[in-house]
Structure 1
């Protein structure tokens, strides 16, 4: 098993979420296409945002199944943008803020529409997103410790507070299964059936 991280993954494979690994493998396969299309990380973030807004639209219009599909596609592009930025040395403060603001805008809008339409599902959706907190916090700890010269997201740095563990690498072997990939897959399943 390859336990090394390459220049584009934030974590070594043995510590990363299995669903995120699968998505990043797809992103690496799509990389030549993205290069050929003159993509930038911010363009990929915009595509993610469009699919996120399509999720909200379909929820609002009570269109079945598509919210779950669009939400997961939005998450895939959310993974692709950071992967692409790190791989091609295109990280920027603006891009980091744009990505996080887009994420929270979509999450808040989806949560709001879910709450208005299906109060019970809204609480499940929110709970699922909080499940990934400890892993995300430990991920940020790990990335900072192992990449001191690299740019770090100020906003994601706040997530480090959700990792109360001292031996980050050890605990991540277990929390990796509750990472953002798992949370977004579960959220997509909820959205698929509302």
Structure 2
């Protein structure tokens, strides 16, 4: 699985992309985007508190992502602030896609039509969630090194950053990003 930080950054990215085009930017709207990006892992509460582990984890399907995006938009609309469902869906759908990029376990992406999908790992696994776990912090650094340049590029594109500035940034960041991707792929799986 990808880290909580990686998932939250994906939700923040979707919010920033939506907010770049919104007529009335709202900082409070960040919360629903981050929530839908992180909420599929709330099923861990059942594991930790009740010892129950669902298989497959249907919260990691695109169907669940769609349901969450629509439900959160309805709640926000009832509160007087409609959010863009496509951007909420991007935030919600980012969770199973990031977990798919870790490649540690099959992800029930197309549940109920297919049991699970898997890819070779591009992102490192979050590892054991213990503060003293050195691999947790190393893998978090690698994950952020791979994801943050991509997320930053998406926000820059959504905001209409001039191509001249975009090219300069890409030339400077690309070698660092490639180094993080190579480091991540080189880790034993």
The structure where helix makes up a greater share of residues is: 1
TM-score, with length taken from structure 1: 0.33
Relative contact order: is structure 1 or structure 2 higher (C-alpha 8 Å, sep ≥ 6)? Answer: 1
Structure having the higher Rg: 2
